[in-house]
Chain A
Amino acid sequence: MSNSYFQKEDQFILNCATKYLAHSGRPTEAWRFPVISTYAGGATDFADPNSFDDFNEVTFIYAAPANAIPPSVGVVGTFGRLYEPLPLTRASFEGELTRYFSVTAVVPKAQKHLYRFIVDGQVLIDPVNPQQETADNGVVWSRFFTDTYGEPIVLERWELAILSRLVAHLMPFRTGDAKNFLERFYNYLDRGAKDAQFGNIYRLDDSVGEVNYIDNLLAREESHRLADYKICLSIIDQVLRQRNPYTEPSRMSVEIYKDLYNEMSGGFVQGWDYQRYSSPQFFLYLLRRHVVTGAFCHPKYGGNAGAAGWAYLEETYRKPSPAPGVEGDTYFDWRRSLEPAAGGRNQDYRG
């Protein structure tokens, strides 16, 4: 029996559970479960502070009905032992047991896992977490992924490829100085990379992880937007193939994407299937918000990979060098405030 899991304090569990689960009816922000948070000790198997940043806490919460508390609740999953459940125990409030069962597992960052609850001997998927995957044998499992996950979750490779081209048109990272900067930045990271969370970068097709961020987002916090992407990317694929029957959409010219972007912006796209999706303009608006967020959000969300987006701003907006070999101050000293795990140099704030 390994000590790879532990109990968070009651206050933490109640903080997570009450707002979202206490009332009867639809849970609020169901995507928050299981709760992924910063790991900083608590499981004896992961006691080396130097490696805390490689892991997340994953807190499973099961809210039993008030009048039917099961004698036991466990969780099994690919993160731990598939056949021996981790036991969940009830949180207390003012010395009394509540109906919230929980356990916190320690899971490496940049991983995706499947799990299920075992409630009084009955196997069931998480009744709250909307993320689900169906295994090859048709069995449905619940799913979670940890910070900086870098593999596609809900978008297909061809969808990601088209998105990357749209992103390239939207963001400035493929041009001139920016391109050089990013190439140097990633090469540096690749050579010196130690952290698990930076390990995936060289495999990303896009510039600073915007597309990866979008995929993560559509898998979890904004799953209500997945349909917009599926439908629109399918329509875009068709439109592009009509314009150039000889080339894969992801390899079509910059001009074709420029035209597409401008047409979407104006609301009229030749060949768009308006029956399936009534406003290409709206999808463009959505994409804009997602892409710019994916470029500059905290790296834990799977975008701004290795803080490349921030580093780009830091570098672009820098005072001239005051003396040979001396770097000018930057106008965006983000490292000053952020934690080392994200690339910052702040020694007080731990992230």
Chain B
Amino acid sequence: MQNQFDVVIIGSGAGGAPIAHELAKKGKSVLVLEKGPLIRPQYQTPNGRSEFKRDELIASGPEKILSLPQVANNGVSYYSSHVEPDLNDEPHVYRDRDGQDRATLEGYTAQVVGGGTQLYGGVSFRFSETDFKLRSFNEDRNDIREDPNGDVKREARDWPFTYDDLEPYYTKTEELIGINGTVANQLKRFSRDVYQPPLSTNGISEFAKRGMELLARQINPAQPIDPYRTPLAVITRDHAPSGRKVPADPESAKTSYVNRYGDPLGLKSSTWVSLLAPIQDLPNFTIRCNCMATRITYENGRANRVFYLDPSGQERSVEGKIIVVACSGIESIRLLKLSAALDPGFDTAINHSGLLGAYFMTHCFGGASARMPDRFDKSVALDADWATDCCSTTDFLRSNGLWAGGALYNNTSDEALPLSLFRTMGAQDLDTLWRGFMQSTGVRGEALMSYLDDNFGRGLSVSFMANQVPQRSNRIELHPTVKDKWGRPVAHILKTWHSHDIYLMDLYAECAGRVLRLGGQALGGSFVFEGQGASYMAENGLARIANHILGGARMGTDPADSVLDKFCRAWQFDNLYVTDGSAMPTSGSGNPTNTIEANSFRVADHLLTRI
């Protein structure tokens, strides 16, 4: 077995795969270590069947009972996907509002080749130009609301590169990964339009589109910013770079088995089908699946060796000239901290700024939902149809005292399939599935039919995804007592919402609500507005993450103020890079995957100048 490589990459998802792809194509010897299994689309398997299925019980499987005496929610039921870890084996533990520890399923992107890109809905926004310079944007302002201590101005950071620096890599990502969408009406600058054409929308989205148009006219009657088709990482035409072909009817990709489902046809552009499968036969590329990295060691200013457990559970190690950690925000930080705990040299080097784990962020997110007067077949949909930037112009931010913006978009696959309708009744996150339906004992017989009559194919939700204020005290640590099944301390997530975050979320929730109200009123019929809100309101509001796990190992220009330099290199290491969401200094005004991939391509180009 080969044990020395030019590059060893821990993690095969959005942060690791672009680097593997670029460096392997340039002839470097590349090893990707992936903790999870390799699950392939049906056209890649010997018998033509995929282990990804259109089956609701694969996405949220049988009940498991949490058996973790050290946490307050010991004994609670949870339902996880076949490619998510078992919380009894590997919990993420967060501290709730009352200071108690609880386990949560949130925060795991997926453990499988392709990581979160296998399960996500594929929403692929670019971050805005402002997102990359939030310190500069805010430093002269005195109007930032709900920030009595000036935390925003003190903690906002510019990225160590600009939107313009990253822009060619956004283009590269959109082309190589395979993303559909439209450029028009996006507020970001596009040097080239490489999107594939979007598929037709679901009929229910018309209410959202109309609502977004009307909202835009309320916000800026003179120059309204109209909606655009949400960019989605799903191919709608044959995709030459990855060799993927679409079915005879590309519209058949719309199945609503999208969010939390791997795609058996490979139309969702996971990093496996788009970046790694195309290079799998290169002699200089190796991927070892079912292999869990356990620690990295340090010697003479370098990360010299990665230890991992092979599928039998036996410890092995490899060396790399370059080592890249990209195993999803929380777990990357955890791996670095565990390495530090086991190696004093590593500890001194990685902790030079004291910021490893600090400035952990997710997104401010939430939205609104309504039941529309007409019924639609929501089982024929992708994850999202329309999006708008009308609430993230600099004018909007300034006139509302917001430090940063967010994207608004309507969801289409939510509650589209029967079990997802029932299990998300009264629950929106992974920790509270089924509870609402189980306890609504009146919903039975005729009343169950009425519930279906009222809700099946009629639910419309609009979500927002916005920057969260970085706080040093929001952090990932190693838990002092809870350990995983291998005896290693698990991640302890400690975070609170800043008062400005709450203000921002309430404001964007109102925008989302207005989209639905305006759209509903305009298109007629009696619709039922169900409510608007944000993640901070949930019972586990401090844990709610939407699986956007960002920061904790941020990039910067000052080694005392960051963990990584502008190329994502850990400052005190010659050769250690961290390229997943943990590298972000601010969390961006949209779902992060596209930006993680673009940044990873950018880092790949830099690495090619070094080896």
Residues of A within 8 A of B (CB): 9, 11-12, 14-19, 22-25, 28-29, 31, 37-42, 66, 93-96, 98-100, 169-172, 175, 178, 217, 221-222, 224-225, 261, 264-265, 281, 284-286, 288-289, 292-293, 295-298, 300-301, 309-310, 313, 316-317, 329-334, 336-339, 346, 348-351
Q: Are A15 and B49 in contact (CB under 8 A)?
A: no
Q: Are B422 and A292 in contact (CB under 8 A)?
A: yes
Q: Are B37 and A172 in contact (CB under 8 A)?
A: no
Q: Closest residue of chain A to B89, judged by CB?
A: A28
Q: Closest residue of chain B to A177, judged by CB?
A: B449
Chain B, 35-68, contact with A by CB distance < 8 Å: what is the 0/1 string? 0111100100011110101111100011101000
Task: Select which of A40, A99, A349 is within 8 A of B312 by beta carbon.
Answer: A99
Please measure, in the bound complex, the distance between the C-alpha atom of A102 and the C-alpha atom of B111, giving whole angstroms.
23
Q: Closest residue of chain A to B433, judged by CB?
A: A289
Task: Select which of B57, B444, B457 is within 8 A of A293 by beta carbon.
Answer: B57
Please measure, in the bound complex, the distance between the C-alpha atom of A179 and the C-alpha atom of B309, giving whole angstroms.
56
Q: Closest residue of chain B to A334, judged by CB?
A: B379
Q: Are B290 and A18 in contact (CB under 8 A)?
A: yes
Chain B, 432-444, contact with A by CB distance < 8 Å: what is the 0/1 string? 0010011101101
Q: Are B62 and A333 in contact (CB under 8 A)?
A: no
In the complex, how many angstroms separate the beta carbon of B456 from the nearest chain A beta carbon?
Answer: 6
> Would you give 8 A-B contacts (Cβ < 8 Å), ordered by A?
A18-B313, A40-B49, A171-B448, A217-B62, A285-B438, A296-B419, A332-B377, A336-B380
Question: Total number of A-B contacts with CB less than 8 angstroms?
Answer: 191
Q: Are A265 and B441 in contact (CB under 8 A)?
A: yes
- Given A28-B86, A40-B48; A170-B38 close (CB under 8 Å): no
Q: Which of B436-467 touch A at CB < 8 Å?
A: 437-439, 441-442, 444-446, 448-449, 452, 456-457
> For the complex, would chain B's binding face be called helix, strand, loop or mixed by DSSP majority?
loop
Q: Are A98 and B312 in contact (CB under 8 A)?
A: yes
Q: Are A15 and B289 in contact (CB under 8 A)?
A: yes
Please measure, in the bound complex, the distance between the C-alpha atom of A17 and the C-alpha atom of B37, giving whole angstroms.
10
Q: Are A93 and B456 in contact (CB under 8 A)?
A: no
- Given A98-B311, A289-B438; A296-B418 close (CB under 8 Å): yes
Q: Closest residue of chain B to A285, judged by CB?
A: B438
Q: Are A317 and B42 in contact (CB under 8 A)?
A: no
Task: Select which of A297, A331, A338 is within 8 A of B377 by beta carbon.
Answer: A331
Q: Are B438 and A350 in contact (CB under 8 A)?
A: no
Q: Are B444 and A19 in contact (CB under 8 A)?
A: no
Q: Are B377 and A330 in contact (CB under 8 A)?
A: yes
The verdict on B611 contacting chain A, using a C-beta distance below 8 Å, is no
- Given A38-B49, A332-B377, A336-B252; A172-B449 close (CB under 8 Å): yes
| Residue numbers in B under 8 Å from A14 (CB-CB) | 37, 289-290, 311
Q: Are B313 and A23 in contact (CB under 8 A)?
A: yes
Please measure, in the bound complex, the distance between the C-alpha atom of A41 and the C-alpha atom of B111, giving whole angstroms.
28
Please measure, in the bound complex, the distance between the C-alpha atom of A182 and the C-alpha atom of B61, giving whole angstroms.
28
Q: Closest residue of chain A to B61, judged by CB?
A: A221
Q: Are A284 and B51 in contact (CB under 8 A)?
A: no
| Residue numbers in A under 8 Å from B48 (CB-CB) | 40-41, 350
Q: Are B434 and A289 in contact (CB under 8 A)?
A: yes
| Residue numbers in A under 8 Å from B53 (CB-CB) | 298, 351
Q: Are A309 and B379 in contact (CB under 8 A)?
A: no
Q: Which of B208-266 touch A at CB < 8 Å?
A: 247-248, 252, 255-257, 264-265
| Residue numbers in A under 8 Å from B288 (CB-CB) | 93-94
In the complex, how many angstroms separate the beta carbon of B252 from the nearest chain A beta carbon?
Answer: 6
In the complex, how many angstroms separate the beta carbon of A153 from the nearest chain B beta carbon?
Answer: 16
The verdict on B302 contacting chain A, using a C-beta distance below 8 Å, is no
The verdict on B485 contacting chain A, using a C-beta distance below 8 Å, is yes
Q: Closest residue of chain A to B42, judged by CB?
A: A350
| Residue numbers in A under 8 Å from B55 (CB-CB) | 297-298, 300
Q: Are A310 and B418 in contact (CB under 8 A)?
A: yes
Residues of B within 8 A of A (CB): 1, 36-39, 42, 46-49, 51, 53-57, 61-63, 65, 85-86, 88-89, 111, 247-248, 252, 255-257, 264-265, 288-290, 309-314, 375-377, 379-380, 418-419, 422-423, 434, 437-439, 441-442, 444-446, 448-449, 452, 456-457, 485-486
Q: Are A337 and B379 in contact (CB under 8 A)?
A: yes
| Residue numbers in A under 8 Å from B452 (CB-CB) | 313, 316-317
- Given A14-B290, A22-B312, A25-B485; A297-B255 close (CB under 8 Å): no
Q: Are B438 and A42 in contact (CB under 8 A)?
A: no
Q: Are B485 and A23 in contact (CB under 8 A)?
A: yes
Q: Closest residue of chain A to B485, judged by CB?
A: A23
In the complex, how many angstroms separate the beta carbon of A178 from the nearest chain B beta carbon?
Answer: 8
Q: Are A337 and B54 in contact (CB under 8 A)?
A: yes
In the complex, how many angstroms separate the beta carbon of A261 from the nearest chain B beta carbon?
Answer: 7
Q: Are B418 and A313 in contact (CB under 8 A)?
A: yes
Q: Are A297 and B457 in contact (CB under 8 A)?
A: no
Task: Select which of A261, A346, A348 is within 8 A of B444 by beta carbon.
Answer: A261
Please measure, in the bound complex, the distance between the C-alpha atom of A337 and the C-alpha atom of B377, giving whole angstroms.
12
Q: Are A172 and B448 in contact (CB under 8 A)?
A: yes
Q: Are A18 and B37 in contact (CB under 8 A)?
A: yes
Please measure, in the bound complex, the distance between the C-alpha atom of A77 and the C-alpha atom of B256, giving whole angstroms.
40
Q: Are A93 and B441 in contact (CB under 8 A)?
A: no
| Residue numbers in A under 8 Å from B437 (CB-CB) | 288-289, 292
Q: Closest residue of chain B to A168, judged by CB?
A: B445
Q: Are A93 and B486 in contact (CB under 8 A)?
A: no
Task: Select which of A23, A24, A222, A298 is within 8 A of B63 by beta carbon.
Answer: A222
| Residue numbers in B under 8 Å from A217 (CB-CB) | 62
Q: Are B312 and A332 in contact (CB under 8 A)?
A: no
Q: Are B47 and A19 in contact (CB under 8 A)?
A: no
Q: Are B485 and A93 in contact (CB under 8 A)?
A: no
In the complex, how many angstroms separate the beta carbon of A42 from the nearest chain B beta carbon?
Answer: 6
Task: Select which of B56, B248, B255, B449 is within 8 A of A298 by beta carbon.
Answer: B56
Q: Are B456 and A331 in contact (CB under 8 A)?
A: yes
Please measure, in the bound complex, the distance between the C-alpha atom of A217 and the C-alpha atom of B62, giving whole angstroms.
8
Please measure, in the bound complex, the distance between the C-alpha atom of A108 and the C-alpha atom of B54, giving whole angstroms.
22
| Residue numbers in B under 8 Å from A41 (CB-CB) | 47-48
Q: Given contacts A66-B312, A172-B448, list 11 more A-B pairs with CB under 8 A.
A: A18-B37, A19-B290, A22-B309, A22-B312, A98-B310, A297-B57, A329-B377, A333-B379, A336-B379, A349-B264, A350-B48
Please measure, in the bound complex, the distance between the C-alpha atom of A168 and the C-alpha atom of B437, giving whole angstroms.
17
In the complex, how many angstroms separate the beta carbon of A342 from the nearest chain B beta carbon?
Answer: 9
Q: Closest residue of chain B to A96, judged by CB?
A: B1
- Given A18-B290, A351-B49; A337-B255 close (CB under 8 Å): yes
| Residue numbers in A under 8 Å from B54 (CB-CB) | 337-339, 349, 351
In the complex, how many angstroms separate the beta carbon of A96 from the nearest chain B beta carbon?
Answer: 7
| Residue numbers in A under 8 Å from B446 (CB-CB) | 172, 175
Q: Are B313 and A29 in contact (CB under 8 A)?
A: no
Task: Select which of A25, A39, A293, A337 is within 8 A of B257 by beta carbon.
Answer: A337
In the complex, how many angstroms separate the beta carbon of B603 from the nearest chain A beta carbon?
Answer: 27
Q: Closest residue of chain B to A223, judged by CB?
A: B62
| Residue numbers in B under 8 Å from A334 (CB-CB) | 379
- Closest 7 A/B residue pairs (Cβ): A15-B37, A221-B62, A18-B290, A265-B441, A285-B438, A296-B418, A337-B255
| Residue numbers in A under 8 Å from B63 (CB-CB) | 222, 225, 289
- Given A40-B49, A288-B438, A331-B377; A29-B86 close (CB under 8 Å): yes
| Residue numbers in A under 8 Å from B418 (CB-CB) | 295-296, 309-310, 313
Q: Are A22 and B311 in contact (CB under 8 A)?
A: yes
Please measure, in the bound complex, the distance between the C-alpha atom of A42 and the C-alpha atom of B48, giving whole angstroms.
11
Q: Are B46 and A9 in contact (CB under 8 A)?
A: yes
Please measure, in the bound complex, the distance between the C-alpha atom of A122 and the C-alpha atom of B437, giving whole angstroms.
49
Q: Are B62 and A15 in contact (CB under 8 A)?
A: no
In the complex, how many angstroms separate the beta carbon of A19 from the nearest chain B beta carbon?
Answer: 7
| Residue numbers in B under 8 Å from A221 (CB-CB) | 61-62
Please measure, in the bound complex, the distance between the C-alpha atom of A30 and the C-alpha atom of B38, giving whole angstroms.
20
In the complex, how many angstroms separate the beta carbon of B459 from the nearest chain A beta carbon?
Answer: 13
| Residue numbers in B under 8 Å from A349 (CB-CB) | 42, 54, 264-265
Q: Which among B56, B445, B457 has the highest number of chain A CB atoms within 10 Å? A: B445
- Given A66-B313, A170-B444, A332-B456; A15-B434 close (CB under 8 Å): no
Q: Are B448 and A19 in contact (CB under 8 A)?
A: no
Q: Are B49 and A333 in contact (CB under 8 A)?
A: no
Q: Are A284 and B441 in contact (CB under 8 A)?
A: yes
Q: Are B313 and A333 in contact (CB under 8 A)?
A: no
